[in-house]
Chain A
């Protein structure tokens, strides 16, 4: 499998929320990067994980599958998964695959964080 063209930086917002800034290409190949980011975000210690897709440049169906496995992991820890920064194109893909029924989509970071602390 080729090396993933992606970076994921983690920001902890208080004790309960972590934001993962995703920049690059989301494919099945970036699963180790995403899982490392998940661990850096506190693993199961936070109650909510917010994915920032503003830097997303490319995503294939393998990438969507990888998000489903992240979702399973988060659900196991009773964490909520949220997303923001999706372009219209990627928002449509979330709706098409019905991933938006499990990952709440927000328009911006502020509303994602407000949603997180509601």
Chain B
């Protein structure tokens, strides 16, 4: 039982982190809350499905194409829509939210709701760790999650673009005065966040069917983990994913799987009551802003 909780808790935590990290990254860098995140996630799922089934592409090619296309869509979202309303939170929030809902409901209308819409798992089969069976797909998720965190660390600490991301995140005006372009960086951050949504979708969706509600759930999960961990903080996201991931597995085991969504609500309520800016969140409290 203990080994089950440890292993599946880890799988669940990494899944949650994979889902949440793209949203948090975009918000942390450019301050844009990308409410179209769930839409992009599901769009990637259906895009891969279409590339595989209509064009009969090999899986690897389809994966790279999907991530590239979704990144481009994220970039264009910023350049076409958000650039015009930048700095007006009301318009930014409404525009991205409407885009996300629009994408999801368009797929629902187009009839992408039946059971045939599933993505293939990468390699069939599984292994047994400490008496707990674990399939390769879940191992892949853990691997992708770890690789992503390492990639992000290297990217933001040792590359030119990554450093300019952090510069904009820390102080936009100083960064601009040093020649870092704010709009370009923000568009790239949205693009990167969308690409991560795509990557998460391709890794996680093979475990179930692709349905429209998954899109809303993903946004819900990303936001819930953001609230608990602190929206703009990557360490906060990781810690919150671990806490919520294990809490969910334990709840699912001892109560019932439906209660897993209740964990989010409980966590949000508790965190908001104790530390509204999230466990690792900073600069969000009004008093700290001066």
A binds B: no
Give the A-binding residues of B (Cβ under 8 A): none
Give the B-binding residues of A (Cβ under 8 A): none
